[in-house]
Amino acid sequence: MTAEPAIAARDVAMRFGARTLFEGVSFEVRRGEVFVILGGSGCGKSTLLKLLIGLLEPSAGTICVLGEAWPGLEGEARRSLLRRIGVMWQSGALLGSLSLAENVMLPVEAHTALPAEARRMVAESKLGLVGLGDAAGLLPAEISGGMMKRAGIARAMALDPEILFLDEPSAGLDPITSAGLDELMLSLARETGTTFVVVTHELASILAIGDRCIMLDKQARGVIAEGDPRRLRDDSTHPVVRAFFRREPLAEGVA
């Protein structure tokens, strides 16, 4: 395992016009860890994720993913970096006109020269891993929201990425499926050294899989806590962090 971090963000700020979403955000994601981005609704978690995958450009600061700086990366360099990351979107973002298997085959087709039979096998294996083996031929419109989410994860994993970005993977899933997903993430992280960056609210999931986390806050416009989620739960003195982990409403006048 190399010492170079999987992701390094330095002094990242995001502004929309005069409105500052967050600023001065710095953190590192180490290789092979499950890194969780926490925070209440509207604090910019999903925006931060879009910055990390290069869809948005930060207003200030730098973001390095696998040693490459996103802004300014173009052509072949960008393509080869894209091949090394996988993204699961909040609602799956499957193409409606393609079956689940064809959706999972898309990145394989785009980035490798594997023959059709191999692509089909890859798709079937990945769908099997997320428990959708018997749904490979269905269209996204024919399955439930949770199934779409799992198919989105299968598509994100299709190329064995070094970093997997997951936006709310367990929201809308039943506890059993959600726990199975956590287990899959953990085993991938431990066995293949895949790095996970997960945006989630699910307390059980955060505590079960998170090696480290950062917590964003809307009022503070930045990171208010960083570290092992279990230690944050037990030791943090920050009122917002405490309220979050104890599932309590925020006391009046705090934050």
Residues that bind another protein (CB under 8 A): 96-97, 108, 111-115, 117-118, 121-122, 124-129, 131, 133-134, 136, 139-141, 158-160, 187, 191-192
Q: Do 177 and 149 contact (CB within 8 A), yes or no? A: no
Smallest separation, CB 128 to another protein (Å):
3
Q: Do 27 and 226 contact (CB within 8 A), yes or no? A: yes
Q: Which is nearer to another protein, 6 or 127 (CB)?
A: 127
Q: Which is nearer to another protein, 60 or 118 (CB)?
A: 118
Q: Which is nearer to another protein, 162 or 167 (CB)?
A: 162
Is beta strand 60-65 parallel, antiparallel or unpaired with respect to 7-16? Answer: antiparallel
Smallest separation, CB 34 to another protein (Å):
18
Smallest separation, CB 74 to another protein (Å):
23
Q: Which is nearer to another protein, 128 or 175 (CB)?
A: 128
Rounded to 10 deg, the angle between the 145-156 and 100-111 helix axes is: 20
Q: Which is nearer to another protein, 115 or 253 (CB)?
A: 115
Q: Which is nearer to another protein, 48 or 188 (CB)?
A: 188
Smallest separation, CB 236 to another protein (Å):
36
Smallest separation, CB 146 to another protein (Å):
16
Smallest separation, CB 40 to another protein (Å):
25
**Largest Cα–Cα distance of the chain, in whole Å?**
62
